[in-house]
Amino acid sequence: MPSTATRTLAPDANGIAQAAAILARGGLVALPTETVYGLGADARQGRAVARIFEAKGRPRFNPLIVHVDSAETARRYVAWPAQAEALATAFWPGPLTLVLPLRDDAGLSPLVTAGLDTLAIRVPAHPLARRLLAAFGGPVAAPSANPSGRISPTTAAHVLAGLSGRIEAVLDGGPCPVGVESTIVGLSGTPVLLRPGGLPAEAIEAALGTPLAAPGGDETAPDEAAPTAPGQLASHYAPAATLRLEAHAPRAGEVYLGFGSGACDLNLSDTGDLTEAAANLFGHLHQLDAGGARAIAVAPIPHHGLGRAINDRLARAAAPRG
Ligand code: TXA
Ligand code: MG
């Protein structure tokens, strides 16, 4: 594809105005959200959405999340059952994506949903994402701003490392506070946990008053044949190094990514705090990659709360590459 000079936009009124103008003319802007950086395009412009897939080298069948400024705006695009209202009231803006039936009059590019009759939608909490959505005034389709299959970006530098020359700009909002992608819940039937993420499933179940079904089964053993969300391929979030999980100590030649107290090369959280570990996860993998690590051993991480999302991403990073 033709090379584009990628600009870094400052997190101020001028940067936001420029980012909104780029989106309006069908360009691509990477924007900070509370979870990870997203690669944004106007969800109504087919050519702009197509450029997302081109820039990421992403398979066409993988549908995108649409970002809007409020639950009220979301209702223009999707059917809105009582459970959507309950979860939106409890958790939006925030790291929760709802998959709901797409409205016939939504007016979005069919590329956004990859031809499905449901739409993934969320209201992000990051102040810069919110200001950009307000300035742009339309729906923004945004997958994570990494080349397909690579680690998700949690800083503007990560975005540039993967996509410089392929997108118009990155709005620099510093490190993303949550650090793993949003939790995705399907609400077109029985509530389903499609992807564990930055909002613990336990909190969602408490708000719904019902357990979430888990179509993908055990998140520690992702299965190519039964992806938990379309396009959730087993090998994903991959660093260049191989990963060995649930490792109580490194073997010869491995660098050790720790969790909790104990000797290691880099620690996700030396106090054993899952929120801190989620925020550090992709940044630490990027750092070990940049340092030339060939083999990474990862300490055991508890499987509750945000640990579910962390273990899901680690399992995908460790999966055999296609
Ligand atoms: O935190 C996040 O969710 C970030 C930020 C940028 O918002 N975005 C993100 O997008 O993680 P992406 O494209 O990397 O992951 C979106 C996931 C994919 O696994 C996709 O298959 C799933 O959402 N998805 C999208 N539309 C769907 C639908 N209609 N039904 C089921 N899954 C869907
Ligand atoms: Mg992604």
Name the H helices within the chain.
13-24, 46-56, 71-74, 82-91, 110-113, 127-136, 156-163, 201-208, 274-290, 307-318
Cβ of residue 228 lying under 6 Å from some atom of ligand 1: no
CA count, 13 A, side-chain hemisphere, 317: 28
Alpha carbon distance 322, 319 (integer Å): 9
195: amino acid identity, one letter? R
- Cα-to-centroid distance, 238 and ligand 1 (Å): 17
pTM for this one? 0.89
Axis-axis angle for helices 307-318, 274-290 (nearest 10): 20
Q: Tens of pLDDT along the chain (322 residues)?
A: 557 899 999 999 999 999 999 999 999 999 999 999 999 999 999 899 989 998 998 776 689 999 999 999 999 999 999 999 999 999 999 999 999 999 999 999 988 998 899 999 999 999 999 999 999 999 999 999 999 889 999 999 999 999 999 999 999 999 999 999 999 999 998 999 999 999 999 999 999 999 999 875 433 333 333 344 554 556 666 788 999 999 999 999 999 999 999 999 999 999 999 999 999 999 999 999 889 999 999 999 999 999 999 999 999 889 887 5
Instruction: Check if 230 has its Cβ closer than 6 Å to any atom of ligand 1.
Output: yes
Q: CA 302, 304, 305, 308: dihedral to nearest 10 degrees?
A: 80
CA 287 to ligand 2 center in whole angstroms: 18
Closest residue by CA, ligand 1 atom 32? 229
Q: Which atom of ligand 1 is nearest to the CA of 145?
A: 6
- CA triplet 262, 297, 288: central angle to 5 degrees? 95
Cα separations (Å) of 216 from 45, 67, 138, 212, 308? 32, 25, 33, 12, 13
The residue nearest atom 6 of ligand 1, judged by CA position, is 38
| Ligand with an atom nearest the CA of residue 61 | 1
DSSP 105-141: T----HHHHTT-SEEEEE----HHHHHHHHHH-S-EE
What ligand has the least distance to the C-alpha of 149? 2
State the distance from the centre of ligand 1 to the C-alpha of 249, rounded, in angstroms: 34
